[in-house]
Amino acid sequence: MPLDHVGDNSLSRRAMKAELLDAETELRLAYAWRDERDEAALHRLITAYMRLAISMASKFKRYGAPMNDLIQEAGLGLMKAADKFDPDRGVRFSTYAVWWIKASIQEYVMRNWSMVRTGSTSSQKSLFFNMRRVQARLEREAAAVGERLDRHQLHQMISTEIGVPLHDVEMMEGRLSGSDYSLNATQTTDEDGREWIDALEDDSAQAESLVEDSHDTAQLREWLLVAMNALNDRERFIVRERKLRDAPRTLESLGTELGLSKERVRQLEAAAFVKMRKNLESQSREVHHFLV
């Protein structure tokens, strides 16, 4: 069943009209897909259990995600289940598919809960989907006996109840309590107020750095020109072709043009660099700083 460009109402109606598979038919379709990669069998299996995927997706609407997106993720989970299902294990496909559908939806909800990722470990996932429910129950039970739990007590009880570290509970509490804000929002209610993004430090190069870099580059270029002029014509040609071109030439191609062996060109290149270094070092002690 194609999922793209289909509204959730339309998809739900189509899913409800799909056939109900008995255990024997389900098993036959599963074998046909696993052993023969029969796409028609896969399509029939997916279509029959799309109502299950939609039903599970509807349970996650409270997290604010669009229902159609939840159905899409549920469908992906269903397809993963069909691809990995082993009919030889003796379990119904629907029982196996439930885990994959739920996992796919949960991953989507956690990815899209906030621009800042909530987390993806098993501990964080368990907290994300159970913390509020467990917290509400604990508070109800405490209120029923006339007690009032402070924040630390509540976090400790949640940690014990869900079986996760206390610091994970505290971290998740902060993430679930916070909200995402636009950096283009103004800092005051005044329409002409400064936006929050204006308060961020500019990490681009400052004027002082730009001037220094420009000066250093010009000075180094001048030194290199002087050093290049100290070479003979053949040495200058080799250095220019090997180091100053956008696409440096190979030793072999230069040897062919100059009528020399590749090894001889390498020796001339090395000698030219030694000569240039000596020339640069003789110009200024500052050059040593650039070359180290």
d(CA 39, CA 41): 5
What does the mean pLDDT of the chain come to? 78
End-to-end CA distance of the chain: 65
Q: Tokens in use for 56?
A: 């599970």
> Contact at 8 Å (CB) between 16 and 9?
no
C-alpha atoms less than 13 angstroms from C-alpha of 140 in its C-beta half-sphere: 6
What's the rounded mean pLDDT across residues 110-126? 60
What's the rounded mean pLDDT across residues 251-258? 90
Give the lowest-confidence range in 5-14, 80-89, 175-184, 216-225: 175-184
Closest CA to 244 of 269, 207, 216, 219: 269
pLDDT at 2: 44
> Contact at 8 Å (CB) between 103 and 29?
no
Other C-beta atoms lying within 10 Å of the C-beta of residue 100: 21
pLDDT at 292: 46
pLDDT at 148: 84
Distance set, CA 287 to CA 207, 215, 281 (Å): 24, 14, 6
pLDDT at 116: 43
**CA 218 distance to own-chain centroid:** 41
Point out which residues pair with 186 in neighbouring strands: 195
Q: Looking at the predicted structure, is the pLDDT value of residue 177 above 70?
A: no
Phi, psi for 86 (deg, rounded to 5): -110, 105
What's the rounded mean pLDDT across residues 262-268? 91
Does the reported pTM lie above 0.75? Answer: no
Q: How do residues 191-250 score in pLDDT, each as one tens digit? A: 566 665 565 555 555 556 666 667 667 777 787 888 888 889 999 899 889 888 888 889
d(CA 169, CA 158): 7
